[in-house]
Chain A
Amino acid sequence: MDTKCAECDAQISIPDDAIVGEIVSCKDCGVEYEVAEIKNGTAMLKPAETIEEDWGE
């Protein structure tokens, strides 16, 4: 499953076993996306949440 980066238009490859919620990143510009939906073998991405002060263990 491949898609395009909304930021820089580079190709983002998504593993075939990816599941909804998984984080993928653009190898060119580094922007992170979250897999929002997988429909008919196509993954829909949305911008991933960015790091917050309360993130961690």
Chain B
Amino acid sequence: MKLTILFDRLRWEEKALQKEAQALGANAALVDAKPLVFEISRVRRAREFGDVVLQRCISFYRTLYLTRILENLGVSVVNPYLVTESCGNKLLTTLILAKAKIPTPRTMISLSSDTVAESAQKMGFPVVLKPFVGSWGRMVSIARDKEALLSIVELREELQNPIEHMYYLQEFVKRPPRDVRAVVAGDEIAACVYRYAPEDDWRTNVARGGLTKALKPNKELREIIFRAADAVGGGVLGVDAMESEEGYLVHEVNNTVEFAGAQAATSGSIARKIAAYVISRARK
């Protein structure tokens, strides 16, 4: 069984995944995606990527396009293109979660700057503004009142990219200074942790210095994690949830889940569980 792990920035996680896949008997190769070139007008069966590909690129668009190309060449990719697209765009994720009736924070989209204040007032301040595509809490901002909101809008309008001129606004959920991250591999929760916001920040992202602590999910949490993972198409995912006064709310599902933070807080190899799932997805 040959498994290809695609990367564009080699991190501890990719090396751990290769090691664990090899321990499970797979011939696992790490392949740098950056130098790859494809003649996409010619469709052929690409055998050089083996029986299954684990997509681990850090760039969302590189992940998205490369996955689509590989699927066109008959390659089985974890996660598939549609899962990647659904998770990589917060608008699409929220649409999917809402349609599947999975509790998620109240979210509004303003298609121009003219209606941002109106949307925020409907939800009530403070509101959280998030980019459609982005990670690690980057460009996620909180507006505690109309004045702060309009300052953010003014700055966004100065940016050249037209996607910045549409607005994803979310209620600021009253929650403890932590959220939940579950690493899902198929029908298994490979790890579940609390992520605590670092001092002087309200965001809990490990990339921003958030600290992790192991959590044994209860029945309600397990159910919502699996429902969210299934709704976006399943695979290897990072499901993020918050504890609100009304119960758990899923606010994000990540398609190229980073797990160094979760691994630091938990025992049992997360990479081993992911590798086992990916091997099970090999094209027969």
Contact = CB atoms under 8 A, between A and B. Distances in A.
A41 interface: no
Q: Is the interface of A mostly helix, strand, loop or mixed?
A: loop
Q: Most chain-B Cβ atoms within 10 A of its Cβ — which of A19, A52, A56, A57?
A: A57
Contacts of B207: 56
Q: Which 3 A-B pairs have the closest CB atoms?
A: A56-B135, A57-B254, A54-B60
A56 B255 CA distance: 10
Interface of B: 7-11, 15, 30, 32, 34, 58-61, 131, 133-136, 138-139, 207, 238, 254-258
Q: Most chain-A Cβ atoms within 10 A of its Cβ — which of B10, B15, B238?
A: B10
A49 B9 contact: yes
Contacts of B131: 53
Nearest to B238: A57
Interface in A2-32: 19-23
Interface string A41-54: 00000001100111
Contact of A56 (B7, B34, B58): B58
A48 B131 CA distance: 25
Size class of the A contact interface (CB-based, 8 Å): 10 to 19
Given A20-B32, A34-B9, 14 more contacts: A19-B15, A19-B30, A22-B10, A23-B11, A49-B9, A53-B133, A54-B60, A54-B61, A55-B59, A56-B136, A56-B207, A57-B136, A57-B256, A57-B258
Contacts of B11: 23
Nearest to A57: B254
Contact of B257 (A21, A53, A57): A57
